Structure 1
Amino acid sequence: MKLAMLSTTVAIAALSIATPVRAENPAHVRQLLATGECPSCDLSGADLSGAHLIGADLRNANLSGANLTNANLEGADLEGANLQKANLQKVLASDTSLIDANLKGANFQQAQLASTIFDGAVVTGANFQGAKLYTANFSDR
């Protein structure tokens, strides 16, 4: 009896370690990539590295923990989006709206953020090392 319980516990532990946690909704990822529109979508933890999301509508989307490395978000609308702990390293996000976005702990290293609007965004712990922020607007509301 103890041996059966031990082997069950070991099997469950192995599965929980081997199975990566992915929270994004695959249908939302497909919708975004096909149409460029996915307001209020669950894209948390999604791998969108290198994606061409020019002018994308991602208002109020959940992109927490998402990988957007080298993505093109030029002209995208991310107003109210949750990008907490998202990786936006080397992203091109010029003329992008991040109004009221949650950017806590987001990684913007070496990002191109010219004319990006951060009005009301929470940037606590965000990493902007090496980012180009020409005419970016960080005003409080």
Structure 2
Amino acid sequence: MKLKSCFHGLATIALSIFLSLTLFNLPAKAFVTPEYEQLLSTGSCVRCDLSGADLSNKNLHGSTLDGSNLSKANLSHTDLSDSLLNDTKFDEADLTEANLSGAFLEASTLTGANLTSANLSKSDLYNALMSKTKLMKANLTEADLTSVVLSDSDLSEVLGTNVKFRGGVLSRSNLSNANFSQSFLRNTRLSGATLKGTNLSEADLSNAVMPDGTTYNGDVSRFGAVQ
């Protein structure tokens, strides 16, 4: 009986050690939180903490996430079209090839986010903070980026026709080979920006600050842009 009891005790200790090691080695967001389940089941989670959550490849079309924290979340290939994302944090989030068309992102922060090849057409990004953002080959057609801060960002090969960008900040950003034709860029700050091959045909650049710090004078060819 004593030997059996001893083996039982050792088995219990071994199981406890195994479970402890397993739990401590799991990533924090491997656990499904009530807020995570709420979003997937109802499509709404206002002011929720979903930072670091894996929401990749999810269909979240028309969801309501106003005021939520999605910093460092994985939202790659996720459908967030027509969603309410105002005042939401996406800092350092992965939004590669995400669908944000028609989404409302007023006053949201996307600092350091990866939006490579994302669809932001007809989205509302008024007054959003997007410094150091990756937007290579993203679709910004007819998006509202009024007063957006997009400094030190990569917008190379962006499709941005008919974009509203009045008062936006693009200082030191890379716009090479991007298409911003017929866009409203009045009062935009482009100081230090790269405009090599940028299509600015029929764009309104009135009072815009150009890469060399001068005010737009009707000529963008000296910066390598096309008009």
TM-score range (shorter-chain normalised) is 0.7 to 0.9
Kept in 1, the 8 Å contact 2:107–2:125? The answer is no
Q: CA RMSD in A?
A: 2.0
Letter in structure 1 aligned against 2:189: I
Kept in 2, the 8 Å contact 1:28–1:38? The answer is no
| C-alpha separation in 1, matches of 2:115 and 2:124 | 15
Q: Give 4+ residue runs of structure 1 displaced > 4 Å after superposition.
A: 26-30
**Structure 1 position 139, deviation (Å):** 3.7
| C-alpha separation in 2, matches of 1:33 and 1:114 | 21
**Structure 1 position 116, deviation (Å):** 0.1
Letter in structure 2 aligned against 1:44: T
TM-score (norm 1): 0.77
1:102 and 2:169 matched: no
| Unmatched runs of 5 consecutive residues or more in structure 1 | 1-23
Kept in 1, the 8 Å contact 2:107–2:127? The answer is no
2:154 aligns with one of 68, 82, 90: 82
User: Which residues in structure 2 correspond to 1:1-141 (within 5 Å)?
Assistant: 25=76, 26=78, 28-29=94-95, 33=105, 36-140=108-212
| C-alpha separation in 1, matches of 2:135 and 2:205 | 21
Task: Sort the Cα spacing of 1:33 and 1:127 in 2 relative to 1 into closer, same or farther, 3 A.
Answer: same
Letter in structure 2 aligned against 1:105: N
Report sequence identity in percent.
30
Instruction: Give aligned pairs, total.
Output: 117
| Unmatched runs of 5 consecutive residues or more in structure 2 | 1-74, 79-92, 214-227
**Structure 1 position 36, deviation (Å):** 1.6
Letter in structure 2 aligned against 1:79: S
| C-alpha separation in 2, matches of 1:38 and 1:50 | 17
Kept in 1, the 8 Å contact 2:106–2:125? The answer is no
Q: What do the CA deviations read for 1:75-114 (whole angstroms, capped 9, x no partner)?
A: 0000001000001100000000000000000101100000
Kept in 2, the 8 Å contact 1:60–1:79? The answer is yes
Task: Sort the Cα spacing of 1:52 and 1:34 in 2 relative to 1 into closer, same or farther, 3 A.
Answer: closer
| C-alpha separation in 2, matches of 1:139 and 1:100 | 8
